[in-house]
């Protein structure tokens, strides 16, 4: 035994029946249960799974920042429990919120980490130059890290971690809050690293398209490894289950609603003009029963994706179908009309916003019609949050006119605000208050009384499946539930207009689907929705979009229009929104900033 | 409107009291301070270590020494034999005062033609204690003088001082300090609660959420002020209870007059706190801002050092300090037995400060400061 | 340069950059000392000067005039004359005066009688300390008057024992001379403990600590990386305070600056150790700030002998003051400033500081987290 072990080069990372528990309040939560894992040398491994599956715990254990309750963890043969600085020389770890010193400049941060890793001044120049080239940060050398956009922060964080040329690189959600362009650059860095130095990489991610790019994928759920395989292995699980459907008659959203009603179909997402559906394994959905021939539905079988397998495996484990969400308002009125015939609910005319000498928003004009889902997209720092805050009345415009339901919310009477719902990117809830107390507070805040109030609170509990957590402090909720509660609070008073700021950042694919199903059904009931996101896939859910860049409009229109705008002489129109976005940026000759 | 404010109140109390740490911060430090300050902060001398250097063998000297030893303020810890020892005893801080009775003390005293000098050497490093000690020593000597005159059938002094102290016959400084602590603690607690309230919501992003709901700025302001008011008054009531029953300071005046003062005082402090809070973006700024108000607020209030001793300009500054007025109210009610009518002049400045600060805070809310 | 010292230098450089860019750190380190020193130096005085006193003299005579002249010419008093007691009482109640001295109409006749003529003195006892000082001053004026009168009449002194007070080290009994050196201890507690506690907690809150401990940096280096910058900052604050004390407030510095600096070093190490311990326990700026104020700032103010005399406290509280580092430092400061290098005071107190500093730092090193739990 020992002879064999000594022969083989020690693996970059091995977990042997590792368990880890935490005390959360008065409960004990098992973050990892009996996890065994071994990473192959020189490969990129993705760690995927729903929120609270134990991804961060696993990475922290691997970095030696936590010790397992039972089992053992070794990196290159070094036990994390006993090896100290020696281990840290081999491992590079980037936490979720990377520990950049926000009051230090880019160069100062790099210098600090170079000092900490003991890199000599001679090596330093060369490595800095190399990393600067990879990350495109040269221009921002002197800028304070706190003033970088989310994407640049992540790149800088990665650069700091890479200074030491670690043999094992651990990255916790490196691409959360990062726009598509920076995301692509991050991946280029990671992949060139593996090619150049044979670094082994373990990263957690909520983006399935990122996991597709890895050599290995580990699916974690409730602290257990559900499946570990190459992406192709995951594809095989979902072989012959994926279809693409389109219909000129029904339209994508109607098509999707129909598909959701069907028991054999476990998943359906809008993709371009079509809908992608996944059937239960080994089932042959009876398309004839779902659609009329008059509806001219075209069905094609498509190759499986990792995401299909992800959903399949998780649903099989939890033994359920993805819930069909139809949010019903008590006084739910109106059906969905064609948006163009509707009056404008949100009007923005020639709006400017200056912060000192910096113009965050430049002569912006657009309007959102009744019952529309309107997306505000853009890279970090493009001005979408500023626009959003001006619309909500949280920030005055420097110039121009903003109208929401015919009113300027900064000066309108308090009661006018009762017509809108608001959900911010941090899911701002009162952390010390329980779920029930939060709901009670917001129901009062929106002026609900008596029977209606009780009715709406009961509705929120049932609709968002919050009963289990009624008395949990909202700060202790899993992220997905925080988001649900925030949405429940924003919908308490059946608003006519809903403002959503990055509503799905950091949320896993399952929760994201649930969320969009709800939003769709709200729109169908005539609620006007304004949403900001840098999740390009989600742009497909919007009726119309506005892509912002440096405070300006880069592109506006329906998703299909925007995709077709990316068409050039050499290239066909982009298939996905993300591609379209990147191409549009490149066409206009812009960098990430 | 009222039930919406009520919802704000419930939310505010829950977020203040539900968390173990913030509950701890609200309750434990004030208690610690109440006891610490009450027991430690006193100007009464008690068992002050002194040394005695007696070169005289007469009985008069022995009598005088016995009087010093009998006084509760002093405690002889060292008997000095030689001149050189004095410096050593003083330098090392072993004693704060040396009583030096010269060789001719008894002779001079009995002879009666000359004054019998007694020397007292004080350590001026702590000039306040030195000054107080000198006062005590002077009392001992003057008592000795008049007794001596009576016993030796001399004609005695032609006049004598009959000193009476109003309101605090035994001149216990605890009676002065301890009611003051009520004002101090209420200031610290209320200020912390108010100064952090808006800043915390800003930091957590809930303030934006609050601003997009139909609450009016006035409602938010009231919702923020009332919890502070309730906590401040509760804290003050508890402290007063301890002052009366544990520290046994007599409460002579009307409780109503005291409570009008407390409510107005807490109101003005909350106003200042909310003003700081609506100016600060993070909790650290709120905390620092509160600190920057509390420290001068305490120092320039007449709590530990009399306002009359301050330079004229600084005295003017104290007129905007709520604690200044409150100290007069609480000491007046406790020790002088004042009523509502006597304190009108203290009430209205408090109300004015509170109203001014609160309107400023409201204005800053409305501007929404970003 | 060794790798370890390179790491340490990197950490120190980082800390200084952060201090320079964070206005609230700078405020605590430099603005707060200046603010406190000015406040205490100018605003606070325990010396009663020109105490307003009411004189009620019902019948003006040479005797009463010579008596009241004692008040007129005393630096301690500011005499106000009242026609009757009713007015004077009113003035006492409204705090226009601190005391009343009352000579009755028959004062002259009773002076020559067999019983001593009474001089009624009423002080407002609410502020017991001021009341006691005031009555002491009245007593002084009274005795001087008696003796002067006896000498003039060729009689023997009616007050046979005379008190001659001599004050060492601070002969004018300027309270500023003892408040300002004592304040230096409070200021250094602020920089040492409060600032350190806050900045460590901030690293936890912002997640930078997680990144830091996943690098090859050792716990000792992280602690030293905090200790050295804030030590330098604290010494800077101390030098600033000392120069303000000497040049602005004219407090004499009798002893040597070097002794002060060595004692300051020891004290600062103890304060820094405490700050580090607090932040290790709290990991959250709000709680760390609150704890730091309660366990370091208030004791430095109240239990250090800075304002309140320790010997007069109840024995349990006195015992407790031995745990307050500021107590030892205040003793050293007041001695070195006003009395000189008196080793009997300096050495034992310095030893106590050394013990406390080593205990706190050892504890901080022992308790410092090497991992996230």
Higher pLDDT among residues B87 and C157, named by residue: B87
- Same domain as B135, residue B37: no
Distance, CA of A528 to CA of C91 (rounded, Å): 73
User: Considering CB atoms only, which of B117, B158, B163 is closest to C162?
Assistant: B117
Helix (H, G, I), strand (E, B) or coil at A227: strand
Collect all residues of chain B within an 8 Å Cβ-Cβ radius of residue A418.
Answer: 213-214
pLDDT on residue A344: 82
Q: ipTM of this predicted complex? A: 0.75
Higher pLDDT among residues A394 and A331, named by residue: A394
Cβ proximity of B123 and B130 under 8 Å: yes
Q: Which tokens go with B37? A: 């300050």
Collect all residues of chain A within an 8 Å Cβ-Cβ radius of residue C216.
Answer: 85, 88-89, 116-118
pLDDT on residue B232: 92
Collect all residues of chain B within an 8 Å Cβ-Cβ radius of residue C98.
Answer: 308
Question: What residues contact residue C12 under an 8 Å CB cut-off, 6+ apart?
Answer: C225, C228, C229
User: Considering CB atoms only, which of B44, B166, B292 is closest to C122?
Assistant: B166
| Chain C residue with the nearest C-alpha to that of B35 | C317
User: Considering CB atoms only, which of C9, C21, C207 is closest to A97?
Assistant: C207
| Chain C residue with the nearest C-alpha to that of A108 | C14
- Same domain as B189, residue B144: no
pLDDT on residue C357: 94
Higher pLDDT among residues A185 and A534, named by residue: A185
- Same domain as B178, residue B107: no
pLDDT on residue B327: 92
Question: How far off is chain C from A431, nearest CA to CA, in Å?
Answer: 16
Query: In this complex, which chains have at least 3 CB pairs below 8 Å with chain A?
Result: B, C
Please answer yes or no on whether B208 and A422 come within 8 Å at the CB atom. yes
Query: In this complex, which chains have at least 3 CB pairs below 8 Å with chain B?
Result: A, C
Please answer yes or no on whether C7 and A116 come within 8 Å at the CB atom. yes
Residue B190 lies in a domain: yes
Q: Which tokens go with A521? A: 């059904």
Choose from A156-170, A415-429, C93-107 the range with maximum mean pLDDT: A156-170
pLDDT tops 60 at residue A338: no
Distance, CA of A530 to CA of A524 (rounded, Å): 14
Mean pLDDT check: name the lowest of A199-208, A239-248, A336-345, B21-30. A336-345
**Torsion-angle region of A240 (φ positive above 0: left; ψ -120 to 50: alpha; else: beta):** left
**Torsion-angle region of A353 (φ positive above 0: left; ψ -120 to 50: alpha; else: beta):** beta
Distance, CA of A188 to CA of B29 (rounded, Å): 54
Please answer yes or no on whether C14 and A99 come within 8 Å at the CB atom. no
What value does the mean pLDDT take over residues A184-203? 88
Question: What residues contact residue A484 under an 8 Å CB cut-off, 6+ apart?
Answer: A464, A465, A466
User: Considering CB atoms only, which of A394, A395, A445 is closest to B213?
Assistant: A445
Give A28's strand partners: A23
What value does the mean pLDDT take over residues B97-123? 82
Mutate to test the interface with B, among C67, C126, C347 (most CBs of B within 10 A): C126
Q: Which CATH architecture has domain A240-303?
A: 2-Layer Sandwich (3.30)
Residue B263 lies in a domain: yes
CA-wise closest residue to B193 among B363, B360, B16, B11: B16
Please answer yes or no on whether B208 and A433 come within 8 Å at the CB atom. no
Collect all residues of chain B within an 8 Å Cβ-Cβ radius of residue C132.
Answer: 43, 132, 135, 171
Residue A41: φ, ψ to 5°: -70, 140
CATH of A2-233, one of 3.40.50.300, 3.40.50.740, 3.90.1150.10, 3.20.20.100: 3.40.50.300
Q: Which tokens go with A325? A: 């969400």
- Same domain as B180, residue B113: no
N- to C-terminal Cα distance for chain A? 56
Please answer yes or no on whether A430 and B11 come within 8 Å at the CB atom. yes
- Same domain as B184, residue B55: no
* pLDDT tens string A445-483: 888 888 888 888 998 888 888 888 888 888 777 777 888
Cβ proximity of B191 and B272 under 8 Å: yes
Cβ proximity of A379 and A151 under 8 Å: yes
- Same domain as B307, residue B180: yes
Higher pLDDT among residues A315 and A439, named by residue: A439
pLDDT above 90 coverage of chain A, percent: 7
Higher pLDDT among residues B205 and A497, named by residue: A497
Residues of B with CB under 8 A from a CB of A: 3-4, 6-8, 10-11, 14-15, 18-19, 22, 204-206, 208-216, 219, 368, 370
pLDDT on residue B257: 93
Q: Which tokens go with A444? A: 């009062």
* pLDDT tens string A211-252: 888 999 999 988 889 889 898 988 888 887 888 888 877 777
Helix (H, G, I), strand (E, B) or coil at C136: helix
- CATH 3.30.70 domain locations along chain A: 240-303
Collect all residues of chain A within an 8 Å Cβ-Cβ radius of residue C6.
Answer: 115, 118
Please answer yes or no on whether A432 and B4 come within 8 Å at the CB atom. no
Please answer yes or no on whether B4 and A447 come within 8 Å at the CB atom. yes
pLDDT tops 70 at residue A323: no
Distance, CA of A107 to CA of A127 (rounded, Å): 12
* Strands lying side by side in the sheet with A373-378: A420-423, A497-501, A528-533, A373-378, A544-549, A552-557
User: Considering CB atoms only, which of B126, B154, B192 is closest to C309?
Assistant: B126
Q: Kindly report the average pLDDT of chain C as a whole number.
A: 84
pLDDT on residue A59: 92
pLDDT on residue A592: 41
pLDDT tops 70 at residue A395: yes
User: Considering CB atoms only, which of C132, C142, C167 is closest to B122?
Assistant: C167
Please answer yes or no on whether A426 and B204 come within 8 Å at the CB atom. yes
pLDDT tops 60 at residue A330: no
- CATH 3.40.50.300 domain locations along chain A: 2-233, 368-393+415-551
Residue A346: φ, ψ to 5°: -115, 125
pLDDT on residue B347: 94
* pLDDT tens string B313-357: 888 888 999 999 999 999 889 988 888 888 899 999 999 999 999
Question: How far off is chain B from A428, nearest CA to CA, in Å?
Answer: 5
Size of interface A-C (CB pairs under 8 A): 95
- Domain parsing of chain C, residue ranges: 3-44+174-367, 51-153
User: Considering CB atoms only, which of B47, B288, B328 is closest to C312?
Assistant: B47
User: Considering CB atoms only, which of B29, B119, B134 is closest to C290?
Assistant: B29
Residue A429 CA from chain centroid, whole number: 19
Collect all residues of chain C within an 8 Å Cβ-Cβ radius of residue A91.
Answer: 214
pLDDT on residue C31: 83
Higher pLDDT among residues A424 and A487, named by residue: A487
Choose from A394-398, B85-89, B308-312, B326-330 the range with maximum mean pLDDT: B326-330
Residues of A with CB under 8 A from a CB of C: 60, 63-67, 84-85, 88-89, 91-104, 108, 111-118, 144, 157, 160, 164
Please, which pLDDT band fits residue B155 given cuts at 50, 70 and 90? low
Q: To which CATH superfamily is domain C51-153 assigned?
A: abc type-2 transporter like domain (3.40.1710.10)
* pLDDT tens string A13-64: 999 999 998 876 666 778 889 999 998 888 999 999 887 788 888 999 998 8
CATH code for the domain of B94: 3.40.1710.10
Distance, CA of A432 to CA of B118 (rounded, Å): 69
- Residue that has been written with the tokens 């008196």 in this structure: C342
Question: How far off is chain C from A544, nearest CA to CA, in Å?
Answer: 37
Q: Which fold has domain A368-393+415-551?
A: Rossmann fold (3.40.50)
Mutate to test the interface with C, among A24, A115, A168 (most CBs of C within 10 A): A115
CB atoms under 10 Å from CB of B369, counted, come to: 13
- The rounded radius of gyration (Å) of the Cα atoms in chain B is 28
pLDDT tops 90 at residue B237: yes
Please, which pLDDT band fits residue B289 given cuts at 50, 70 and 90? confident
Domain total for chain B?
A: 2
Which one of B105, B121, B151 terminates a domain? B151
Domain hosting B351: range is: 9-41+172-367
| Chain A residue with the nearest C-alpha to that of C14 | A112
pLDDT on residue A591: 44
Question: How far off is chain B from A75, nearest CA to CA, in Å?
Answer: 38
* pLDDT tens string A128-159: 888 888 888 888 888 888 878 778 888 899 88
- Same domain as B335, residue B236: yes
CA-wise closest residue to A156 among A124, A111, A215: A111
pLDDT on residue A185: 86
Q: Kindly report the average pLDDT of chain A as a whole number.
A: 81
CA angle A527, A532, A533 (to 5 degrees): 125
Please, which pLDDT band fits residue B234 given cuts at 50, 70 and 90? very high
pLDDT on residue C246: 92
Please answer yes or no on whether A116 and C217 come within 8 Å at the CB atom. yes
Mean pLDDT check: name the lowest of C128-137, C242-251, C349-358. C128-137
What value does the mean pLDDT take over residues B236-240? 92
Please, which pLDDT band fits residue A413 given cuts at 50, 70 and 90? low
Mutate to test the interface with C, among B305, B314, B331 (most CBs of C within 10 A): B305
pLDDT on residue B156: 64
Distance, CA of A534 to CA of A555 (rounded, Å): 14
Mean pLDDT check: name the lowest of A104-118, A474-488, C219-233. A474-488
* pLDDT tens string C262-297: 999 999 999 999 988 888 887 677 677 777 777 777
* Strands lying side by side in the sheet with B74-80: B74-80, B48-54, B97-101, B116-123, C161-168
């Amino acid at each position: 035994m020992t002879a064999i072990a000594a022969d083989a080069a020690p693996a970059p990372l091995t977990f042997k029946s590792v368990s880890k528990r935490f005390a959360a309040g008065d409960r004990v939560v098992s973050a990892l249960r009996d996890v065994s894992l071994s990473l192959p040398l020189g490969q990129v491994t993705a760690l995927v799974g729903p929120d609270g599956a134990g991804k961060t715990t696993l990475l922290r254990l691997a970095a030696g920042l936590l010790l397992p309750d039972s089992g053992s963890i070794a990196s290159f043969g070094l036990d994390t429990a006993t090896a100290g600085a020696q281990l840290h020389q081999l491992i590079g770890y980037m936490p979720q919120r990377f520990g950049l010193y926000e009051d230090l400049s880019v160069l100062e941060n790099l210098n600090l980490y170079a000092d900490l890793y003991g890199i000599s001044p001679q090596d330093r120049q060369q490595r800095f130059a190399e990393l600067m080239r990879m990350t495109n940060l040269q221009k921002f050398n002197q800028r304070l890290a706190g003033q970088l956009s989310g994407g640049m922060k992540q790149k800088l964080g990665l650069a700091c971690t890479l200074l030491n040329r670690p043999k094992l690189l651990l990255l916790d959600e490196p691409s959360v809050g990062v726009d598509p362009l920076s995301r692509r650059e991050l991946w280029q860095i990671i992949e060139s690293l593996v090619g150049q130095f044979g670094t082994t990489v373990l990263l957690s991610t909520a983006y399935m398209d990122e996991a597709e790019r890895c050599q290995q994928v580990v699916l974690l759920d409730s602290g257990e490894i559900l499946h570990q395989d190459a992406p192709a292995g995951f594809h095989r699980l979902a072989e012959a289950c994926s279809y693409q459907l389109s219909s000129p008659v029904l339209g994508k959203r109607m098509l999707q609603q129909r598909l959701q009603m069907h028991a054999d179909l476990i998943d359906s997402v809008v993709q371009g003009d079509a809908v992608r559906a996944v059937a239960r394994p080994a089932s042959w959905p009876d398309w004839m029963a779902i659609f009329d021939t008059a509806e001219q539905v075209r069905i094609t079988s498509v190759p499986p994706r990792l995401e299909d397998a992800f959903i399949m495996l998780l649903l099989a484990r939890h033994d359920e179908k993805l819930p069909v969400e139809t949010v019903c308002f008590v006084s739910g009125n109106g059906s969905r009309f064609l948006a163009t015939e509707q009056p404008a609910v949100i009007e923005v005319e020639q709006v400017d916003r200056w912060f000192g000498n910096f113009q965050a928003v430049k002569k912006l004009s657009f309007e959102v019609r009744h019952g529309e889902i309107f997306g505000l997209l853009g890279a970090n720092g493009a001005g979408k949050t500023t626009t959003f805050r001006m619309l909500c009345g949280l920030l005055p415009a420097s110039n121009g006119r903003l109208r929401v339901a015919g009113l300027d919310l900064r000066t309108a009477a308090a009661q006018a605000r009762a017509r809108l719902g608001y959900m911010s990117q941090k899911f701002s809830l009162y952390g010390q208050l329980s779920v029930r107390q939060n709901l009670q507070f917001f129901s009062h805040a929106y002026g609900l009384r008596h029977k209606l109030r009780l009715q709406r609170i009961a509705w929120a509990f049932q609709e968002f499946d919050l009963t289990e957590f009624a008395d949990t402090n909202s700060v202790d909720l899993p992220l997905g539930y925080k988001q649900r509660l925030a949405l429940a609070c924003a919908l308490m008073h059946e608003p006519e207009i809903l403002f959503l700021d990055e509503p799905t950042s950091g949320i896993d694919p399952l929760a994201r689907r649930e969320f969009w199903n709800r939003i769709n059904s709200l729109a169908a009931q005539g609620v006007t929705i304004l949403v900001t996101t840098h999740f390009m896939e989600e742009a497909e859910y919007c009726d119309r979009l506005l892509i912002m860049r440096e405070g300006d409009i880069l592109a506006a229109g329906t998703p299909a229009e925007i995709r077709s705008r990316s068409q050039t002489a050499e290239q066909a129109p982009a298939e996905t929104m993300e591609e379209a976005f990147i191409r549009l940026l490149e066409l206009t000759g812009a960098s990430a900033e | 409107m009222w039930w919406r404010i009520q919802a704000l109140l419930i939310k505010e109390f829950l977020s203040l009291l539900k968390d173990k740490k913030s509950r701890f911060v609200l309750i434990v430090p004030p208690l610690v301070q109440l006891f610490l300050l009450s027991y430690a902060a006193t100007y009464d001398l008690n068992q002050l270590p002194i040394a005695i250097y007696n070169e005289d063998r007469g009985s008069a000297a022995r009598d005088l020494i016995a009087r010093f030893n009998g006084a509760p303020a002093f405690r002889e810890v060292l008997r000095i034999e030689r001149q050189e020892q004095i410096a050593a005893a003083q330098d090392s801080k072993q004693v704060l005062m040396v009583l030096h009775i010269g060789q001719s003390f008894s002779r001079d005293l009995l002879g009666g033609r000359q004054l019998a000098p007694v020397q007292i050497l004080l350590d001026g490093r702590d000039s306040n204690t030195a000054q107080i000690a000198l006062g005590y020593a002077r009392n001992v000597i003057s008592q000795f003088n008049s007794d001596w005159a009576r016993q030796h059938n001399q004609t005695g002094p032609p006049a004598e001082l009959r000193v009476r102290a109003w309101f605090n016959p035994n001149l216990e400084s605890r009676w002065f300090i301890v009611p003051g602590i009520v004002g101090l603690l209420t200031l610290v607690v209320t200020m912390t609660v108010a100064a952090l309230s808006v800043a915390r919501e800003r930091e957590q992003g809930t303030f934006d959420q609050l601003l997009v709901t139909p609450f009016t700025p006035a409602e938010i302001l009231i919702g923020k002020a009332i919890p502070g008011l309730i906590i401040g008054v509760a804290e003050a009531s508890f402290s007063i209870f301890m002052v009366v029953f544990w520290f046994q300071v007599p409460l002579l005046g009307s409780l109503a007059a005291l409570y009008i003062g407390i409510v107005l005082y807490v109101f003005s402090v909350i106003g200042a706190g909310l003003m700081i809070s609506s100016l600060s973006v993070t909790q650290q700024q709120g905390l620092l801002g509160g600190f920057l108000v509390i420290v001068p607020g305490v120092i320039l209030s007449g709590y530990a050092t009399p306002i009359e001793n301050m330079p004229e300009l600084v005295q003017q500054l104290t007129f905007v300090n709520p604690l200044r007025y409150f100290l007069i109210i609480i000491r007046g009610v406790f020790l002088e037995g004042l009523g509502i009518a006597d304190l009108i002049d203290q009430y209205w400045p408090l109300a004015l400060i509170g109203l001014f600060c609160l309107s400023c805070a409201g204005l800053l809310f409305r501007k929404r400061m970003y | 340069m060794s790798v370890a010292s390179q790491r340490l230098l990197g950490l120190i450089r980082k800390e200084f950059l952060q201090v320079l860019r964070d206005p609230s750190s700078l405020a605590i380190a430099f603005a707060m000392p200046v603010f406190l020193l000015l406040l205490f130096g100018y605003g606070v005085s325990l010396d009663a000067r020109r105490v307003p006193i009411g004189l009620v003299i019902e019948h003006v005579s040479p005797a009463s005039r010579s008596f009241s002249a004692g008040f007129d010419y005393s630096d301690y008093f500011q005499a106000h004359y009242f026609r009757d007691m009713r007015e004077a009482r009113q003035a006492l109640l409204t705090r226009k005066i601190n005391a009343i001295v009352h000579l009755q109409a028959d004062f002259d006749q009773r002076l020559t009688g067999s019983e001593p003529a009474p001089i009624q003195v009423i002080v407002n006892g609410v502020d017991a300390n001021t009341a006691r000082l005031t009555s002491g001053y009245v007593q002084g004026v009274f005795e001087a008057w008696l003796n002067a009168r006896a000498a003039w009449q060729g009689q023997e002194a009616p007050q046979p024992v005379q008190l001659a007070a001599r004050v060492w080290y601070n002969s004018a009994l300027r309270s500023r001379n003892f408040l300002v050196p004592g304040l230096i201890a409070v200021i250094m507690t602020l920089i040492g403990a409060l600032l350190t506690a806050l900045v460590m907690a901030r690293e936890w809150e912002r997640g930078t600590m997680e990144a830091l401990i996943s690098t090859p940096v050792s716990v000792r280096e992280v602690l030293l990386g905090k200790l050295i910058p804030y030590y330098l900052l604290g010494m800077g604050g101390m030098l600033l305070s000392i120069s303000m004390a000497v040049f602005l407030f004219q407090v004499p510095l009798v002893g040597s600056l070097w002794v002060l600096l060595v004692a300051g070093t020891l004290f600062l190490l103890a304060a820094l150790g405490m700050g580090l311990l607090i932040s290790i326990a709290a990991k959250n700026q709000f709680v760390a700030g609150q704890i730091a104020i309660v366990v370091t700032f208030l004791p430095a103010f109240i239990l250090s002998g800075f304002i309140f005399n320790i010997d007069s406290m109840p024995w349990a509280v006195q015992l407790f003051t031995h745990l307050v580092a500021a107590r030892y430092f205040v003793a050293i400061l007041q001695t070195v400033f006003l009395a000189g290098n008196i080793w009997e005071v300096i050495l034992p107190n310095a030893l106590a500081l050394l013990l406390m500093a080593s205990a706190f730092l050892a504890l901080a090193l022992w308790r410092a987290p090497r991992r996230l739990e």
